[in-house]
Amino acid sequence: MGVFDIIGPVMVGPSSSHTAGAARLGKMARVILGESPTEATITLYGSFARTYLGHGTDRALVGGLLGFAPDDLRIKDSLKIATEEGLTFSFVISEQAADHPNTAEFSLQGASGNRIGVTGRSIGGGQIVITKIDSFKVEITGDYNALITIHEDKPGIIAEVSRVLSQENINIAQMKVARQFRGAEAMMVLETDHSISKQTLDTVKNIYGIRSAIVILPL
C-alpha cells in the first residue's frame, strides 16, 4: 500500500470518490470535448444518483466542466459560477443499473457547436476511468499523457501514428483501438510515457485518414 492509498488525494471534501473523483470526471470530459462546454446534460447512475446532493457530486462535476481541479475551493460555488459563465447544465437521475455504482454520463456541446458524449467512473481515492467516448469503448485514467485519434478504419494509419511518436522518442505505454464496424470510423487511444508537443500533434493531424486528434495531459 502506498502513501496515496492511506491519505487520499488533496481535495475539496467530503468524499474522494463522490467529490474529488467527480471533479476529475468533469474536467476530463471538458478536455475530451476540446473546448469550454456551453451545454451539459449529466446522467447519474447508482450511488452517484442516490447521494449526489449530500456529497456535492453535482457541484464537483460542474466544477470539473469549468476546468476546476479537485482541490479548487471554487467547487462549492460551481453551479453559480457556471450560470454566470454561460454554461447551461442539467442532471438526469437514472434508475438503470450501471457497471459501476459511481458512473456519470456527459452529453456536451461547445461554443463551436461540437458535441460529444463521455461516460466515466469514479473508482475510489479520487481515481477515475473514462469508459466511453460517443459510441467507442475506451479506458482512460488521466494518469498518463494520452493521444486520442478519430480516423478511417484502414491499413497503415496506426503504423504511421506510431512512427511519428517514435521519431520524437515518445514511448507508448499502452494502446487501445475500437471501431464502429469494419471499414468505418475508428478511435485509437495511446497512453504515453512522455508529453506530446503541439508540433507532434499537428503532424499526427496531417496524416491522411486522421479526422481529428487531441492530446490529454495527466490530471
Q: What is the C-alpha to C-alpha distance for residues 68 and 146, in angstroms, rounded to an integer?
A: 20
Q: Which residues, listed in sequence order, are joined to residue 187 by a DSSP beta bridge?
A: 150, 178
Percentage, residues of the chain above pLDDT 90: 65
Task: Give residue 13's pLDDT.
Answer: 52
Q: Which residues, listed in sequence order, are joined to residue 133 by a DSSP beta bridge?
A: 118, 136
Task: Give residue 149's pLDDT.
Answer: 95
Q: Is the pLDDT of residue 52 over 80?
A: no
Q: Is the pLDDT of residue 23 over 80?
A: yes
Q: Last residue of some domain: 134, 155, 182?
A: 134
Q: What is the C-alpha to C-alpha distance for residues 9 and 115, in angstroms, rounded to an integer?
A: 31
Q: What is the C-alpha to C-alpha distance for residues 216 and 158, in angstroms, rounded to an integer?
A: 18
pLDDT band at 142 (very low <50, low <70, confident <90, very high): confident
Q: Model pTM?
A: 0.83
**Residue-averaged pLDDT of the chain:** 88
Report which residue type is found at 172.
Answer: I
Residue 40 sits in the same domain as residue 81: yes
Report which residue type is found at 200.
Answer: T
Residue 196 sits in the same domain as residue 120: no
CATH number of the domain that 62 lies in? 3.30.1330.90
Q: What is the C-alpha to C-alpha distance for residues 110 and 126, in angstroms, rounded to an integer?
A: 26
> Measuring CA to CA, which residue among 58, 84, 79, 65 is closest to residue 24?
65
Residue 122 sits in the same domain as residue 24: yes
Q: Is the pLDDT of residue 105 over 70?
A: yes
Q: Is the pLDDT of residue 182 over 90?
A: no
Q: How many CA atoms lie within 13 A of 186 on its CB side?
A: 19
35 contacts: CB under 8 Å, gap ≥ 6: 110, 111, 112, 114
Task: Give residue 188's pLDDT.
Answer: 94
Task: Output phi, psi for 73, to 5 deg.
Answer: -65, -15
Structural domain boundaries, residue 174: 145-216
Q: Are the C-beta atoms of 17 and 124 separated by less than 8 Å? A: yes
Residue 111 sits in the same domain as residue 151: no
